[in-house]
Amino acid sequence: MPTQIIVGEKSPDGIRDAAILTLGAGKIMRSLMAEAQFDDGFARIFRERFISSRRETLIALLQRGAARGELPKDADLELLADLCYGPIWYRLLNGHAPLDEPFVQAITARILRN
């Protein structure tokens, strides 16, 4: 069963990243993130071509939720996007806990409580 993310919609590719990161792509993503810390040119390209598209997808989903009244209309969607992705990246980079469906559901529940 697909993870239900924010406002009752099937999760977009952006938030499914959490599941994908547990399937072997996580090591590659950690390496890319590490490289972005040392190479400003790479960091810019990584943000433009990878990070930005995922944020845009998530923000569009959050906008639809706000339009339906499932989030406050004045919600800071940029901040909510950070609150979604921050914990995922934190777990990916530290490896201290799994990136699994219960974790993603917990993030969703917190965002909906806004």
Measured torsion, CA atoms of residues 31, 33, 39, 43, in degrees rounded to the nearest 10: 140
Please say whether the beta carbons of 85 and 58 come within 8 A.
Answer: yes
HEC sequence for 44-96: HHHHHHHHHHHHHHHHHHHHHHHHCCCCCCCCCHHHHHHHHHHHHHHHHHHCC
Residue 12 backbone class (left: φ over 0; alpha: ψ -120 to 50; beta: rest): beta
What are the sequence ranges of the domains in the chain?
12-113
What is the tens place of the pLDDT at every residue in 31-77?
999 999 999 999 999 999 999 998 999 999 899 888 988 888 899 99
- Fold assignment, 12-113: Tetracycline Repressor; domain 2 (1.10.357)
Per-residue confidence at 28, pLDDT binned at 50, 70, 90? confident
